[in-house]
Amino acid sequence: MSEARATTDTRERILDAAERLFMESGYEGTSMRMITGAAGVNLAAVNYHFGSKEALLREVFRRRLAWLNKERLRLLDDMEAQAKGEPLKPSAILEAFFGTLLHMGTDESLGGMTFLRLLGRTLTEPADFIRTFFAGEYAEVVDRYKRALFRALPDVPHEEIIWRFHLMLGAMSYAIAGTDALQVVTGCELDLKNEGPQAAELLSARVMPFLLGGLRAPLPQFVTKQEQQHQSEPDKAA
Amino acid sequence: MSEARATTDTRERILDAAERLFMESGYEGTSMRMITGAAGVNLAAVNYHFGSKEALLREVFRRRLAWLNKERLRLLDDMEAQAKGEPLKPSAILEAFFGTLLHMGTDESLGGMTFLRLLGRTLTEPADFIRTFFAGEYAEVVDRYKRALFRALPDVPHEEIIWRFHLMLGAMSYAIAGTDALQVVTGCELDLKNEGPQAAELLSARVMPFLLGGLRAPLPQFVTKQEQQHQSEPDKAA
DNA sequence: ACTTGGTTCAAACGTTCGTTTAAATCATAT
DNA sequence: ATATGATTTAAACGAACGTTTGAACCAAGT
């Protein structure tokens, strides 16, 4: 009846191995034999402890997203309490949402860069059960942050805010996930995975200005019918 | 010896079916039997006409990327010829690079939205042969556009431009690929796949301002050591 | 000492995978 | 008509897949 020590050892060895292998080879590209081999446990251990390969993937994410979701909600709650009813600054909202994510990359006990890259890559996995799972895991947090952005940008149509939220998620995911997928396309070392804990801070410094710039960009012409010219003149980065 | 008509029929039926199925289920998640079944051809036809499943994927992309690469280079050549040695405007460069891509979404003979979404999703596939393939296919075009951006933004460090190029690619890929992956996360219909030809123009109007805003955002503080304050004040979209 | 319940183990399960084979079929040229 | 080379076909290949089984093992409680 009591929890034997070897039990949690085996479970966590499997979760760690699966986290790394799913990141490197994707869900379909990773076999149970690869996972149990890397974890140094018996092939049947995954089905015994988790039930199935699908359930294993869900647990890999659940143990990390539990912290991420809680922290994101806590930060938003704190900021809203301190603002006493006033709308938050968009930059503060983004800092809370994406900064929390990037912080996980600096802390090995939260999964480190391995989990960050896994998360970025898995968001595009086409398998139905994965999409369903993420929808459930993200629903509450995304809804809260969406509403905070609505209040922070009262003059911007909600649909436009959702689009830009979407685009920011995409840019951030690629910045993390595609580190070697697209750096070979861009043909330049983007020096991420060798930096260890500082990697996430470098990432943050590079990505956050980009996201804010995108979020605050002029609205598309068909949204603001008036004054549709002269708004994209200064063709220069600061 | 002569090219029988049925030959190109079978080849193209396979390519069309594979394009759609790879988009819906990913490379590993799509079996040869799914492809040949959907195409209405014999199971052995893929290996006969293309050699292997990997070679089929490469051909699926090659027939589309041939046009895309040529068009992107042609537009850049035209603009540079017209500029007579002057640097191009960043917005014109982005319009050529991403506008060409989005144009494919409006033209069914270029693959339409199916290919666009396939492209966006496949950039994150972890399989080695896919990454190698894309690196080769994209190398020339990315290098040319990278250099055009360097000239267009002479005050921005090259590394920063590459990063933002990377981020723009990510945002664009997600905007296209994630239409149902992340719209379920953001919890809102992003009305894309039901729009047909207009979808790409809607996408363009929404995404291009975001990309330009990101590209022209203030540089991160550790790059411009001087005047690191007061540059992120106007917390409002236009 | 013996039972008990949780855990590990080697082995096998049936299925599906990508690929190959050899015969059948088709279109064309002589 | 008949030979020829390209294409299609049904069937099978060995390998790898996720999962299941039943015995072995181990650390408790009595």
Instruction: Quickly list H helices, chain B.
Output: 5-25, 32-39, 45-49, 53-83, 90-106, 112-122, 128-152, 158-177, 183-186, 198-215
Tell me the mean pLDDT in the region A6-34: 94
In B, minimum Cα distance to A27 occurs at B28
Q: Give me the percent of chain B exceeding a pLDDT of 70.
A: 80
Asked if residue A237 has pLDDT above 60, the reply is no
| pLDDT higher at B44 or A166 | B44
Is B166 in Cβ contact with A183 (below 8 Å)?
yes
Check residue A154 and give its pLDDT.
96
Q: What is the pLDDT of residues A125-153, one digit of tens each?
A: 889 999 999 999 999 999 999 999 999 99
Least confident stretch, A57-61, A67-71, B198-202: B198-202
**Average model confidence (pLDDT) across chain B:** 86
In A, minimum Cα distance to B185 occurs at A135
Q: What is the pLDDT of residues A99-125, one digit of tens each?
A: 999 999 889 999 998 999 999 999 888
Confidence of residue A52 (pLDDT cuts 50, 70, 90): very high
Angle at B23 between CA B17 and CA B26, to 5 degrees: 105
Q: What is the pLDDT of residues B129-174, one digit of tens each?
A: 999 999 999 999 999 999 999 999 999 999 899 999 989 998 998 8
Q: CA nearest B142: which of B166, B110, B117, B121?
A: B166
Chain A touched by B154 (CB under 8 Å): no
Give the span between the Cα atoms of A217 and A106, in whole angstroms: 30
Give the span between the Cα atoms of B158 and B152, in whole angstroms: 11
Is B214 in Cβ contact with A185 (below 8 Å)?
no
Is B168 in Cβ contact with A171 (below 8 Å)?
yes
Confidence of residue A51 (pLDDT cuts 50, 70, 90): very high
Chain A touched by B1 (CB under 8 Å): no
The CA-based diameter of chain B, rounded to the nearest angstrom, is: 73
Q: What is the pLDDT of residues B95-129, one digit of tens each?
A: 999 999 999 988 999 999 899 999 999 988 889 99
Handedness of CA B216, B220, B224, B229 (dihedral sign): positive
Q: What is the pLDDT of residues B38-96, one digit of tens each?
A: 999 999 999 999 999 999 999 999 999 999 999 999 999 999 999 999 999 999 999 99
Asked if residue A197 has pLDDT above 70, the reply is no
Least confident stretch, A10-14, A220-224, B60-64: A220-224
Check residue B3 and give its pLDDT.
41
Tell me the mean pLDDT in the region A147-168: 94
Least confident stretch, A185-194, B26-35, B58-67: A185-194
Strand, coil or helix: B59: helix
Check residue B22 and give its pLDDT.
97
Is A167 in Cβ contact with B207 (below 8 Å)?
yes
Give the span between the Cα atoms of A15 and A7, in whole angstroms: 12
Residue B235 CB contacts under 8 Å (≥ 6 apart), including other chains: A89, A90, A91, A152, A216
Q: What letter represents residue B41's amino acid? A: V
Give the span between the Cα atoms of B224 and B156, in whole angstroms: 10
Contact by Cβ (8 Å): B160, B224? no
| pLDDT higher at A46 or A7 | A46
Angle at B189 between CA A98 and CA A231, to 5 degrees: 65
- In order of start, what are the domains of chain B with their CATH numbers? 1-51 (1.10.10.60), 61-215 (1.10.357.10)
Give chain A's length.
238
Asked if residue A80 has pLDDT above 50, the reply is yes
* Class of residue B238 by CB neighbours under 10 A (exposed 0-12, middle 13-18, buried 19+): middle
Check residue B192 and give its pLDDT.
55
Asked if residue B224 has pLDDT above 70, the reply is no
Cα–Cα distances in Å, from B115 out to B15, B107, B184?
11, 10, 21
Residues 1-30 of B with CB under 7 A from strand D: 1, 3-4, 6-7, 9-10
| pLDDT higher at A176 or A12 | A12
Asked if residue A226 has pLDDT above 50, the reply is no
